[in-house]
Amino acid sequence: MKFFVNVRYNTCQPVPLEVDRIATILTLKEKIGTRYQLPVDEIRVIFQGRELSDNATFEQCDLGNHSCVHAVRHSPSVQLRQRPLDIPKSQGLNSIREVITDTPPPGGQYLYYKPPGGWYLHIQPPKGLYRVRFHVYCRSVCHNVQPGKLRVRCSKCKQGTLTVSQGPTEWGDVMVPGRIHGECQSEGCDGTVAEFYFKCAVHPSLEDDSAPVLDLVRTNSLEVPCAACTDTVSLVLVFPCSAGHALCLDCFRTYCITKLNSRAFTQLPDVGYSLECPAGCVNSHIRNPHHFRILGDEQYTRYQRLATEEYVLQNGGVLCPSPGCGAGLLPEGEDNRVVCEKQGGFGCGFEFCRYCHETYHEGDCRTSLLAAISADSGDDYRLDPENALRAQWEKQSKLTIVQTTKACPKCNAPTEKSGGCMHMKCALCCFQWCWICCKEWTRDCQADHWFG
Amino acid sequence: MSGGLPRRIIKETQRLQAEPVPGIVAIPDDSNARYFHVDVAGPKESPYEGGVFKLELFLPEEYPMSAPKVRFMTKIYHPNIDKLGRICLDILKDKWSPALQIRTVLLSIQALLSAPNPDDPLANDVAEQWKVNEAQAIEIAKQWTKRYAPSQPMPS
């Protein structure tokens, strides 16, 4: 297989240079010198915040096929601003095996990339060796959880020409901007702050390559069984609780979708719309919402919609009840008349009651709803027969809802009681109420009519 | 999970049989591996001592994301179990977690027999009796145990 290193000189587009896979950085510098007509001893190669020394091999520098390095030119008289990185000889990259096949990898394999050519680059970490520590959700090519690579660039010129004065030692160094400093080696740039980002390690580099990192997804080097299916698999999501409960990604998906279906995510002010550890541990909510991308595009969009709805409802807003609309509205004042105003491509113009979500009316909600249902539409004969039938259907449907449900005392969601005790918990707004009193659940309700 | 029974259920069933919980027997139905016939022995020093209670346990399609459905088949006088055998136990409702198992559920039910909680009742009349005259309630519970849950040799 041909081996390329993409070289970005100054701010030009990266140029792929073909080199021998087992060659050293000096050989690469010679190629760069030929390509850009530069004296070899004035070229410096920077990768991942470090200058690479001449005698290091690509393997030792963790340079894979199509890795992108930065080349800068400095005259030899200029003092090196930083000592080149010494790499222990024993540390090689050959622990990751690349296999090219023309068939898709077996189910459950997460390390694969299908380039337009039609073959699969199938990278397998060998058994017993767990090198991949970072995982990302690749949005651009793979649409899947993939091993990630940590990259560093200058926060000012956004080029990878910054050499760091010290490496990151914990997640905070990477996630919180401005913690790690260095010096940008680009000509004319005086940047001193390192900016970290992650990219998908599976497909060749793209122009804008950053991928959200999934800091809770780990290579299962401890071989912990999934808390739900009890299988031991290669990738797990470890919740941020003190016990570190782990779910495999399949069970994580099922867990999240089950909770989305029952709207059991919680909206927390400092976290957002999130889920806690399945064992119910304290302080175990997922704080990085990118993890919900693991659910797939369709469910992630649904997660975002429910999160927005929850935010609107928690802030005293209402959702337009008109079919197909659902716009989030924040009505001012206490007036029960809400208009879903048409503006900027949103809104449907529907006027409705803030409390019962039916067409706007004056007076008590239940009375007016029953009146609307029982109102005999005297001019039925003018209607299209199908419309008339449909109207009857809607009328019956509404009547059934009125007869079989009670409204949640807080958000008015029609609630049906199919069994169990009198203690109700609204699936929409989580309000806990009493089926008998139609008020907030109290100890008295428990004592007087909890059951029966 | 190729259409059949999830591996977790197979593993749990095997473990229940290989390392049974003392005083609890759970056997999957011949025709439905998600339906278990359960026998729970009344715990020592409880009014249910000496009795064997039959329960049914069903693992719904969503298990382990949703809780197993469990019901007493044997009549029992207990403030947290109603006359239909329904059990008031938080882990069977909102406190369910996929990290729990059939084994832990049955152990919790056994523990509930040792420690009836009349402040958290499902059967109001029983709870009332338990509060007003505990000695008498315990006596009734013992009688019911003798009458409805006579000890039989547990099926192997």
Q: SS3 string of chain A? A: CCCEEEEEECCCCCEEEECCCCCEHHHHHHHHHHHHCCCHHHEEEEECCEEECCCCECCCCCCCCCEEEEEEECCCCCCCCCCCECCCCCCCCCCCEEEEECCCCCCCCCCEECCCCCCEEEEECCCCCCCCCCEEEECCCCCEEEEEEEEEEECCCCCCCEEECCCCCCHHHHHCCCCCEEEECCCCCCCCEEEEEEEECCCCCCCCCECCECCCEEECCCCCCCCCCCCCCCEEEECCCCCCCEEEHHHHHHHHHHHHHCCCCEEECCCEEECCCCCCCCCCCCCCHHHHHHHCHHHHHHHHHHHHHHHHHHCCCEECCCCCCCCEECCCCCCCEEECCCECCECCCCEEECCCCCECCCCCHHHHHHHHHHCCCCCHHHCCHHHHHHHHHHHHHHHHHHHHCEECCCCCCEECCCCCCCEEECCCCCCEEECCCCCECCHHHHHHHCCC
Query: Residue A205 falls within a domain, yes or no?
Result: yes
Q: Which residues contact A339 (CB under 8 A, 6 or more apart)?
A: A349, A350, A351
Share of chain A above pLDDT 70, in %: 82
The CATH number of residue A293's host domain is: 3.30.40
A232 shares contact with chain B (CB less than 8 Å): no
Q: Are residues A199 and A236 in the same domain?
A: no
> Would residue A421 show up in a list of annotated catalytic residues for this protein?
yes
B12, B62, B97 ranked by CB distance to A278: nearest: B97
Q: Are residues A233 and A288 in the same domain?
A: yes
Whether the predicted model's global pTM rises above the 0.95 cut? no
Q: Across the interface, do A425 and B94 touch by the CB < 8 Å criterion?
A: yes
Residue A17 in contact with residue A5, Cβ under 8 Å?
yes
Out of A259-263, A311-315, A362-366, A433-437, the most confident range is: A433-437
A228 shares contact with chain B (CB less than 8 Å): yes
Q: Across the interface, do A421 and B122 touch by the CB < 8 Å criterion?
A: yes
Indicate the average pLDDT of chain A. 80
Q: Across the interface, do A450 and B124 touch by the CB < 8 Å criterion?
A: yes
Q: Which of A48, A79, A110 is the last residue of a domain?
A: A79
Count other C-beta atoms under 10 Å from residue B125's C-beta.
13
A352 shares contact with chain B (CB less than 8 Å): no
Q: Are residues A346 and A426 in the same domain?
A: no
Q: Are residues A306 and A327 in the same domain?
A: no
Nearest CA in chain A to B124: A451
Domain holding A269, by residue range, is 225-314
Query: Residue A397 falls within a domain, yes or no?
Result: no
Q: Across the interface, do A278 and B123 touch by the CB < 8 Å criterion?
A: no
Which residues from chain A sit within 8 angstroms of residue B11, using beta carbons?
A: 230
Query: Residue A192 falls within a domain, yes or no?
Result: yes
How much is the pLDDT for A88?
34
**Is a pLDDT exceeding 90 seen at residue B38?**
yes
A255, A279, A421 ranked by CB distance to B65: nearest: A255
How much is the pLDDT for B121?
62
- Categorize the per-residue pLDDT at B101 as very low, low, confident or very high, splitting at 50, 70 and 90: very high
Query: Residue A11 falls within a domain, yes or no?
Result: yes
Query: Residue A389 falls within a domain, yes or no?
Result: no
How much is the pLDDT for A398?
82
How much is the pLDDT for A128?
37
Q: Are residues A286 and A210 in the same domain?
A: no
Q: Are residues A138 and A207 in the same domain?
A: yes
Q: Which of A365, A421, A429, A430 is catalytic?
A: A421
Residue B38 in contact with residue B94, Cβ under 8 Å?
no
- Categorize the per-residue pLDDT at A211 as very low, low, confident or very high, splitting at 50, 70 and 90: very high
Query: Residue A186 falls within a domain, yes or no?
Result: yes
B66, B97, B122 ranked by CB distance to A280: nearest: B97
CA B1 to CA B7: how far, in whole Å?
7
Which residues from chain B sit within 8 angstroms of residue A452, using beta carbons?
A: 124
Q: Are residues A206 and A232 in the same domain?
A: no
**Is a pLDDT exceeding 80 seen at residue A33?**
yes
Query: Rounded to a whole number, what is the largest CA-CA distance in chain A?
Result: 98
A91 vs A52, higher pLDDT: A52
Q: Which of A245, A279, A314 is the last residue of a domain?
A: A314
Query: Residue A234 falls within a domain, yes or no?
Result: yes
How much is the pLDDT for B37?
96
B11, B99, B122 ranked by CB distance to A278: nearest: B99
**Is a pLDDT exceeding 90 seen at residue A49?**
no
Asked if ipTM goes beyond 0.85, one says: no
Q: Across the interface, do B99 and A245 touch by the CB < 8 Å criterion?
A: yes
- Where does residue A378 rank: exposed (0-12), middle (13-18), buried (19+ CB within 10 A)? exposed
Q: Which of A359, A375, A391 is the last residue of a domain?
A: A375
Residue B37 in contact with residue B29, Cβ under 8 Å?
yes
For A88-95, what is the mean pLDDT?
Answer: 33
A442 shares contact with chain B (CB less than 8 Å): no
**Is a pLDDT exceeding 50 seen at residue B2?**
no
Written as six digits, the tokens of A1 are 């297989």
A245, A250, A450 ranked by CB distance to B121: nearest: A450
- Categorize the per-residue pLDDT at A161 as very low, low, confident or very high, splitting at 50, 70 and 90: confident
How much is the pLDDT for A96?
35
Which residues from chain B sit within 8 angstroms of residue A258, using beta carbons?
A: 62, 65-66
Split into its structural domains, chain A has a count of: 5
Q: What is the per-residue burial (b if ≥16 Cβ within 10 Å, else e) of A42-78? A: ebbbbbbbbbbbeebbbbbbebbbebbbbbbbeeeee
Specify the DSSP element, H or E, that contains B100.
none
Which residues from chain A sit within 8 angstroms of residue B64, using beta carbons?
A: 228-229
Q: Are residues A299 and A344 in the same domain?
A: no
Q: Which of B24, B41, B88, B105 is catalytic?
A: B88
For A207-224, what is the mean pLDDT?
Answer: 87
Q: Which residues make beta-bridge pairs with A274?
A: A266
Q: Are residues A71 and A159 in the same domain?
A: no
B1 vs A409, higher pLDDT: A409
Q: Are residues A300 and A342 in the same domain?
A: no
A275 vs A80, higher pLDDT: A275
Q: Are residues A363 and A421 in the same domain?
A: no
How much is the pLDDT for A93?
31
Q: Are residues A338 and A369 in the same domain?
A: yes
Query: Residue A403 falls within a domain, yes or no?
Result: no
Q: Across the interface, do A280 and B121 touch by the CB < 8 Å criterion?
A: no
B95 vs A420, higher pLDDT: B95
Q: Which of A130, A131, A136, A110 is nearest to A122 (CA)?
A: A110
How much is the pLDDT for A159?
85
How much is the pLDDT for A382?
58
